[in-house]
Structure 1
Amino acid sequence: MPLARLANEPHRVFFPLGILASILGVALWPLHFGGILAAWPLEAHARLMVVGFGGCFIVGFLGTAGPRLLGSFPWTTPEVVAHATTSGAIITLLMLGQVPAADTVTGFWLAGVLASLGVRFVFGRKDVPPPGFPIAVLGVVGACIGSFALAIHSVVHLSPLWHSFWRLMLFQGFLWLPILGVAPYLLPRFFGKSSPHSLDESRSIPRGWWRPFFISVIAGLLMIYSFEVEARGLLRPGMWLRAAVVGVSIAFSVPGWLGWGGVNAVGRGLRWVVPCALAGWIAAGWFVPLRIGLLHGMFIGATGLIMIGVATRVVLGHGGRHDRLQSPMKWFHAVWALLLLVAATRITPEFVPKIRISHYIYAASFWTITMLFWAWRLRLEFAKPKPIKLLQPSFGRSGWRLPNLDLRRGA
């Protein structure tokens, strides 16, 4: 594939990198229990899943969609190569157990991504971004600062409050602030609805932009406030506030989410995102000592599922297969069902400790199978024949006539 196309559509680089990072991230557990890795892999695993998997999907989406939404020029080949190389270095460092070094490189990586987006906004912008996208960028900013803060903590210990706060900004804010920013713009399309965040193209602030912007800002600030509440030791109120923010924000800003029918398998799967997120935070707040395991309901069933669902649309849409997005895509039922199975498998050992090792390995295996199955099925979508577009006959002065028809596939 030409490098110019990869630069124009960075998701073609970062989505596969994210899948690779996630498979390596879950592989740490069987490697540890098999005696190959001596160190407890929790910190490296968490970063491979959040920064590696989540970060690559977020950067791939913003790098592809950001310039288009701004009406600006795409990323250059050197930028994509630099960002991809840096993310690869982060994955390598984490696999080697060099967590502080990986945090430092993550901070520089995200700073570079922000610079790439900022250049397009300042010098090439011909349109105002959707109202929620500043909150998505805020999530990247918070993760950038949080990565540097955690790297510094390995040398000069931060106070418990600040250490906890920046961990939450990296591990949850990096995922959920972009979701809150992008969901009102993108998710209604999965449900056959128009988005209140999709406004007329304009270099100045268009009419109707400010109201959804302020709503997004309030949701984002409340999310950050919930991190402070939890960092102060009020774990249950912090997590429950986060659940309320996500539930209310998406319910009122994403038309069609509260329905059930009228969608294909991708839309049906995405309707599990909010229930999984709420269940994860509420359960973690209720059983605080078990919160690390219970939060996997939110991480896997919500953030993992929404990223795979959105990535499906991005890959097929930019690959010229909008027709497949409107098809039933029944195979995606297996994807979201498998992800829910992964979440349940990972949560179960919190209540039955004697099966912990086996279920860690089962969950890692199911995740790997799910990612490979999704990538394989998505690739098969491009092999399906394109529909032939037939133009309707028109009635002119000389009577009925048929236009010239081009019956080539995809015409």
Structure 2
Amino acid sequence: MKNAVDAYRLFFPAGWLMAFWGVFLWILFPWKLVSYPGLNHPEIMMGGFFLCFVSGFLMTAVPRFTATFGPSENDQKFSLALIALLFVSLLLPGKKPFYFAIILNFIFLIYFCAKRFLVRKNDPPEPFIFVGVGLFTGIVGALILFAAEFTELNFQIYSLGKIFFLQTYILCLVLGVGSRLVPALLGWAPLPTEQKQSSAKNRKMFLYLALLFLLTYVCETLVNAPLALALRAVLITFITMKFWKLYKPPQRKAVQTWGLWLSAWSVVVGAWGLVVVPQMRIHWLHIIYISGLGLMTFMIAVRVVLSHGGHDMAIEKKSKILAVGAFLLFLAGLTRFSAGIGPHIYQSHLLYAAVTWIFGLLLWGGIFIPKMFFITEKKN
């Protein structure tokens, strides 16, 4: 039962459910079935949806990148316990249980990766320095928000914790993983397992880039937000153009690659939107999170599920259902952005965006969720 312990089989379905519930709240809200979702929606998406997919991907990829060992039986059991705790915490009053569950997830993920890094036979890819920074900011941000539930913190410290958890950690992880994976999936680089070993020069370059990227969030919170946003947009543009080759359409023509390409461009456009039209900050962030990182997460998960599960790889190239699902996920971000055009359409467009996202999720999940549990196709 080798495939039974693949981490993505545990965490991806959990992340999909979190992605559903975190947005479905906006559909329930107009009927007054839930309290205002704006207080819980960001945490569910960052600590539920994204963190589950990050855990599933890293726990699947890190053993391969380091040429070490996969999840043990105890790792699998602990993963199931953490996922259960995450869902139970949503049923409990207040945010303390949820932040506590998130912190435990980060601790376990850091432990899992560090344990394999220390006995590595291969060095992880140079961009994975961003992954380390992302995990660091994620747990620091969660700890600050957890502490704020018990005592009143300095406003700047609290703001830094919030931006670390709601923005920094996931963008760092995407820039780290994406700089190795995205160009390979788009057809501009060899597959990760075929690429050359890292070099000291490249490691140093990515270390400087990661630290500078982290500094933009500290600067945004404590010093000068416009300067920080501009520098961050420059860094994102530099990384995606130089390493992702985003200025060229995908060489591999597939539904998945076009979705991935559009999602990456959404991150770049959203980053510059924050600089040019800062008064629409929350709306540009949703372009980054929904049309960008959200769609990108599901497009990368397509490759993980198909390749590691031994399924027909033609699905990522030709599936019309995947194409419609990807388009709806992309459109959900644009629809959410349009809510900022005027107060008279704000609530209705939030609802439209939520419905669009849900339909996109259902189409994606209808194809790939069953494939995480059942291996019925011959492996290529």
CA RMSD in angstroms comes to 2.7
CA shift for structure 1 position 187 = 1.1
The amino acid that maps onto 1:21 is M
Match of 1:131 among 112, 126, 135: 126
Matched residue, 1:243: 233
Q: Is the 8 A contact 2:95 2:149 kept in 1?
A: no
More helix by share: 2
Matched residue, 2:30: 33
CA shift for structure 1 position 324 = 2.2
Cα–Cα, structure 1 residues 155 and 323, in superposed 2: closer, same or farther, change >3 Å? closer
The correspondence of residues 130-169 of structure 1 with structure 2, limited to 5 A, is 130-169=125-164
Matched residue, 2:177: 182
SS in 1 for 2:248: coil
Cα–Cα, structure 1 residues 68 and 192, in superposed 2: closer, same or farther, change >3 Å? same
Runs (4+) of structure 1 moved beyond 4 Å?
195-201, 379-386
**1:52 and 2:41 aligned:** no
Q: Is the 8 A contact 2:230 2:275 kept in 1?
A: yes
Greater shift in the superposed pair: 266-275 or 84-93:
84-93
Q: Is the 8 A contact 2:309 2:371 kept in 1?
A: no
Greater shift in the superposed pair: 80-89 or 65-74:
80-89
Matched residue, 2:247: 258
CA shift for structure 1 position 237 = 2.6
Q: Is the 8 A contact 1:247 1:274 kept in 2?
A: no
Q: Structure 2 CA distance, aligned partners of 1:301 and 1:269?
A: 9
Cα–Cα, structure 1 residues 384 and 165, in superposed 2: closer, same or farther, change >3 Å? closer
Q: Structure 2 CA distance, aligned partners of 1:254 and 1:410?
A: 28
Matched residue, 2:94: 98
Matched residue, 1:294: 284
Q: Is the 8 A contact 2:302 2:316 kept in 1?
A: no
**Deviation readout 1:85-136 (Å, 9 max, x if unpaired):** 223323432354522331122112201111122222224x222111122321
CA shift for structure 1 position 229 = 1.6
CA shift for structure 1 position 146 = 1.1
Cα–Cα, structure 1 residues 113 and 248, in superposed 2: closer, same or farther, change >3 Å? same
Percent of paired sites with the same residue: 23
The amino acid that maps onto 2:227 is P
CA shift for structure 1 position 82 = 1.8
Gap regions ≥5 residues in structure 2: none
Match of 1:366 among 332, 342, 356: 356
**Deviation readout 1:338-368 (Å, 9 max, x if unpaired):** 1221012111121221222222222111111
Cα–Cα, structure 1 residues 347 and 95, in superposed 2: closer, same or farther, change >3 Å? farther
Cα–Cα, structure 1 residues 222 and 336, in superposed 2: closer, same or farther, change >3 Å? farther
Greater shift in the superposed pair: 164-173 or 17-26:
164-173
The amino acid that maps onto 2:141 is G
TM-score normalised by the chain length of structure 1: 0.84
Matched residue, 1:110: 106
Matched residue, 1:232: 222
Cα–Cα, structure 1 residues 377 and 34, in superposed 2: closer, same or farther, change >3 Å? same
Q: Is the 8 A contact 1:196 1:253 kept in 2?
A: no
CA shift for structure 1 position 159 = 2.0
Q: Is the 8 A contact 1:293 1:347 kept in 2?
A: yes
The correspondence of residues 262-277 of structure 1 with structure 2, limited to 5 A, is 262=251, 263-277=253-267
Considering Cα pairs closer than 8 Å and 6+ residues apart, tell me whether 1 or 2 has the greater RCO: 2
TM-score normalised by the chain length of structure 2: 0.90
Greater shift in the superposed pair: 43-52 or 237-246:
237-246
CA shift for structure 1 position 379 = 6.1
The amino acid that maps onto 1:24 is W
The amino acid that maps onto 1:161 is Q
Q: Is the 8 A contact 1:186 1:195 kept in 2?
A: no
SS in 1 for 2:141: helix
Match of 1:337 among 327, 342, 347: 327
Gap regions ≥5 residues in structure 1: 387-408
Length, aligned pairs only: 378
Matched residue, 2:294: 304
Greater shift in the superposed pair: 78-87 or 184-193:
78-87
Q: Structure 2 CA distance, aligned partners of 1:272 and 1:170?
A: 25
Cα–Cα, structure 1 residues 325 and 249, in superposed 2: closer, same or farther, change >3 Å? farther
Cα–Cα, structure 1 residues 361 and 294, in superposed 2: closer, same or farther, change >3 Å? same
Cα–Cα, structure 1 residues 46 and 200, in superposed 2: closer, same or farther, change >3 Å? closer
